[in-house]
A and B are shown apart, each in its own frame.
Chain A
Amino acid sequence: MFQHLQRLQRRFRIVRGVLAVSLLGSVGLAAGLSAPGLKENAIAATASAVAPLNFKLDPVHCMALFRIHHVGAGRFWGMFDDVSGTVVYPEDGSTAPTFDVTVKVESVHTGNEKLNRTIAGPQFFNAKEFESIRFVSTGGKSIGEKTWEMTGDLTMHGVTKPIIAMVECTGVAGNPVQKKVGFEATFTVKRSNFGMEWGVKNKALGDDVRMIVGLEGDWVR
């Protein structure tokens, strides 16, 4: 009988100890959650969703199309294949993106080799002397959902002029590890403003050049 009572007492002590440890653990966990350090971590996790991310342009999926009027008749299209640069953009589109985009002129492509050489040659872009076209954004005003009126400096043919471009974010894709963002920019420039005046006066080739630039960037962590 006595031995049986002692066994019961021992079991009770074990259960009490387990309960005490569990209670302490629960209290500790609760205290831990309310600790200042973890609070900051939680805020940071929330903020990272809106913080601007850096993207590097993916040359395979970037291109710059241009359209120009020929002898006052048809409009023909051409494309620059070699587009590189960076974009800074918050995933939720809460602020305007910033761009630094460089287009290599020698990558001009019209479907006709002779026309490619003419456009890259000294008559127009003079690519041997002015190798690239560069756009650096200076500001952006939201004009719709994920659409902005971007201002920036365009350097072309050795001349830098401010321009306005309509930019639309065409999407953000990926997962927490890999992200891609896409943009489409449209704008029109007068090539004579950039010193490319050949054929403007005699209307051999139009002065207005319409540009459509498709960009895709990879997140750089």
Chain B
Amino acid sequence: MFLPILAGGGLVALCWLLPPLRKWKWLSGVTYGFGLAVGVFGSFAAENGIPDFPPTERMQWLGLSAVLAAIFAICGSATGQPGKERSWPSTEFFAVLAGAVVACLPFIVQWAGGELRPYFSSAGPADQLAMGLAVTVGFLALDRIVESRHGVTLPLVLFITFAGLAPIADAASWITLTFLFAVAAGISLIAAIAARFGGSPSIGRGGLLAAVVLLVFLPAAGYRQTYGEFPWWTWGLAAAAPLILLPLEHPWFGKLPAWGGLVLRLVLVAAIVGTAVLVALQSGSGADSGNDYGGFN
């Protein structure tokens, strides 16, 4: 688990801390998303091998979603650099395109010679559509935050989010998924530290899109493929926690001092994620004590 964190986090730290690399704004915007994808893919591959394409097992979508995140990290940054006036409708167009790719990927898999089937067990076309929609809406909603919040805010928010999803995945008894969330959290924490000392770079649209893709795919896999005995919305609540940043962009909150605004944001995100974690863990422990398997009658 530590090697993927070092690989992904190292990439981010290099690009955000080394002065020659910091000059390349485009690279700065790509690096968080790409580092995140490298770390998650590395963690998946270390445990389960390189995923096949087309996938032979649904679990391989975890590794493939990291590949998708890497591609989106590069392409997302091509839609414009943070701080510069973006050329409408490139961002919106790219958000819809990314969502469409996610919704239609099973059809692309079929075109590539694979079997046409939903991403995950017991899922259907509605799930694919919902996942694609979540990518589009998540990207568009948080794009404003990427524009306005440079530095440690988003990496720390994503750190809390991924770190909270790890115990939820553990409560669902999926070791690989737990590690993937832990790796993503570790890379986000390194990114936050690097941002603190690297001149407050932005994670960029590429970084945001990569994070959104992972925050859609991984919890969806966790919900559909495991036997976690907690409510389905636990996954969604934790994964959607960064959206709380949107109302906090209200001018009223702008009156707060910088540190106050940061603390408020982190506390709110942590409260939402913490609630989801508590629900998951309490449901899990309840199931442990009430073992209903194997009646010997």
Instruction: With both chains docked as a complex, state the minimum distance between the C-beta of A124 and any C-beta of chain B, in angstroms.
Output: 10
**Chain A positions within 8 Å of B225 at CB level:** 121-122, 126, 128-129
Interface string of A111-143 (1 = CB under 8 A from B): 111111110111100111100000000000000
Whether the Cβ atoms of B175 and A198 lie closer than 8 Å is: yes
Whether the Cβ atoms of B48 and A109 lie closer than 8 Å is: no
Whether the Cβ atoms of B224 and A128 lie closer than 8 Å is: yes
Whether the Cβ atoms of B49 and A122 lie closer than 8 Å is: no
Of the candidates A79, A120, A128, A195, the one whose C-beta lies within 8 Å of that of B294 is A79
Whether the Cβ atoms of B176 and A198 lie closer than 8 Å is: yes
Q: Name the interface size band of chain A.
A: 20 to 34
**Chain B positions within 8 Å of A117 at CB level:** 172-173, 226-229
**Chain A positions within 8 Å of B224 at CB level:** 128
Of the candidates A109, A123, A128, A198, the one whose C-beta lies within 8 Å of that of B121 is A128
Whether the Cβ atoms of A118 and B122 lie closer than 8 Å is: no
**Chain B positions within 8 Å of A113 at CB level:** 287-288, 291, 293
Which of B121, B122, B287, B293 has its CB near the most chain A CB atoms (within 10 A)?
A: B293
Query: Which residue of chain A lies nearest to B178 when distances are taken between CB atoms in the complex?
Result: A123
Whether the Cβ atoms of A126 and B57 lie closer than 8 Å is: yes
Q: A81-B294, A116-B293, A121-B172 are known contacts. Are A129 and B227 too (CB-CB below 8 A)?
A: no
Q: Indicate if B174 sits at the interface (CB-CB under 8 A).
A: yes
**Chain B positions within 8 Å of A128 at CB level:** 120-122, 224-227
Q: Indicate if B59 sits at the interface (CB-CB under 8 A).
A: yes
Question: How many Å lie between the Cα of A195 and that of B226 in the bound state?
Answer: 18
**Chain B positions within 8 Å of A109 at CB level:** 293-294
Whether the Cβ atoms of B49 and A121 lie closer than 8 Å is: no
Q: Indicate if A149 sits at the interface (CB-CB under 8 A).
A: no
Whether the Cβ atoms of B48 and A197 lie closer than 8 Å is: yes
Q: Indicate if A107 sits at the interface (CB-CB under 8 A).
A: yes
Q: Indicate if B284 sits at the interface (CB-CB under 8 A).
A: yes
Instruction: With both chains docked as a complex, state the minimum distance between the C-beta of B165 and any C-beta of chain A, in angstroms.
Output: 16
**Chain A positions within 8 Å of B23 at CB level:** none
**Chain A positions within 8 Å of B175 at CB level:** 118, 123, 198
Question: How many Å lie between the Cα of A79 and that of B293 in the bound state?
Answer: 11
Whether the Cβ atoms of B288 and A122 lie closer than 8 Å is: no
**Chain A positions within 8 Å of B288 at CB level:** 112-114
Question: How many Å lie between the Cα of A107 and that of B227 in the bound state?
Answer: 12
Q: Indicate if A60 sits at the interface (CB-CB under 8 A).
A: yes
Size of chain B's interface in residues, with CB distance under 8 A? 29
Interface string of B45-81 (1 = CB under 8 A from A): 0011100000001110000000000000000000000
Whether the Cβ atoms of B293 and A60 lie closer than 8 Å is: no
Interface string of B112-146 (1 = CB under 8 A from A): 00000000111000000000000000000000000
Instruction: With both chains docked as a complex, state the minimum distance between the C-beta of A79 and any C-beta of chain B, in angstroms.
Output: 7
Query: Which residue of chain B lies nearest to A120 when distances are taken between CB atoms in the complex?
Result: B227
Q: Indicate if B87 sits at the interface (CB-CB under 8 A).
A: no
Q: A81-B294, A121-B225 are known contacts. Are A114 and B173 too (CB-CB below 8 A)?
A: yes
Question: How many Å lie between the Cα of A36 and that of B59 in the bound state?
Answer: 67
Q: Indicate if A72 sits at the interface (CB-CB under 8 A).
A: no
Question: How many Å lie between the Cα of A5 and that of B120 in the bound state?
Answer: 108
Which of A108, A112, A115, A123 has its CB near the most chain B CB atoms (within 10 A)?
A: A123
Question: How many Å lie between the Cα of A82 and that of B287 in the bound state?
Answer: 20
Which of B58, B221, B294 has its CB near the most chain A CB atoms (within 10 A)?
A: B294
Whether the Cβ atoms of B293 and A122 lie closer than 8 Å is: no
Query: Which residue of chain A lies nearest to B284 when distances are taken between CB atoms in the complex?
Result: A114
Which of B48, B176, B227 has its CB near the most chain A CB atoms (within 10 A)?
A: B227
Whether the Cβ atoms of A129 and B58 lie closer than 8 Å is: yes
**Chain A positions within 8 Å of B177 at CB level:** 122
Interface string of A90-120 (1 = CB under 8 A from B): 0000000000000000111101111111101
Whether the Cβ atoms of A126 and B59 lie closer than 8 Å is: yes
Of the candidates A60, A106, A115, A158, the one whose C-beta lies within 8 Å of that of B297 is A60
Q: B-contacting residues of A (Cβ < 8 Å)?
A: 60, 79, 81, 106-109, 111-118, 120-123, 126-129, 158, 195, 197-198
Q: Give 29 pairs: A residue, B residue, CB < 8 Å, sorted on A.
A: A81-B294, A106-B227, A109-B294, A113-B291, A114-B173, A114-B288, A115-B173, A116-B293, A117-B172, A117-B173, A117-B226, A117-B229, A118-B173, A121-B172, A121-B174, A121-B225, A121-B227, A122-B58, A122-B176, A122-B177, A122-B221, A123-B174, A126-B57, A126-B225, A128-B121, A128-B227, A129-B58, A197-B48, A198-B176
Q: Give 12 new A-B contacts, CB below 8 A, not counting A112-B291, A129-B58.
A: A112-B288, A114-B288, A117-B226, A117-B227, A118-B175, A122-B58, A126-B58, A128-B120, A129-B121, A158-B57, A197-B49, A198-B176
Q: A-contacting residues of B (Cβ < 8 Å)?
A: 47-49, 57-59, 120-122, 172-177, 221, 224-229, 284, 287-288, 291, 293-294, 297
